[in-house]
Amino acid sequence: MEKKEYVNVLFVLLAVTLLFAGCSKKADENKPLSEVKAEAETMSVDKLKSMAMEYKDAVSAKKEEIEKITGELKNIPIAEKLGNEAKQLTADIENLTKSVSALNERFQIYYQKLKEKDGDLTGL
């Protein structure tokens, strides 16, 4: 692997690390769904909207990262598509996609509960 490829891989890994570190601690993709549902039942309309926004923002950030990595993957020459860099980028995309799915699941719980309480859904 050339020096440029190492730099690219390190950059991607750094970006992914910063993305995970930068995500709000409130938007927890690992929080059990049963716990999210139980908390949502007791939350006020304002708190429900706040939590839904936290998850929406976390999903948006991860989707942006997926787009960025997808662009990097597209820039890899065809001859190198089976190489380690491409495999790592593909794995990063798969992990981020799973994360987006988990965050969306939790977002929907807060969103639906807010909707049930006739809360303001603007911006969600």
pLDDT tens column, 87-123: 898 999 999 999 999 999 999 999 999 999 999 999 9
pLDDT tens column, 42-82: 999 999 999 999 999 999 999 999 999 999 888 888 877 78
- The structure's pTM equals 0.73
How far is the C-alpha of 91 from the C-alpha of 83, rounded, in Å? 12
Element (H, E) at 83: none
- Greater confidence (16 vs 98) lies with 98
Position 17 pLDDT exceeds 60 = no
- Helix ranges (H only) for 23-83 are 33-42, 45-74
Instruction: Identify the pLDDT of residue 79.
Output: 79
Helix-then-strand count for the chain, H and E: 4, 0
Report whether 69 contacts 12 (CB < 8 A). yes
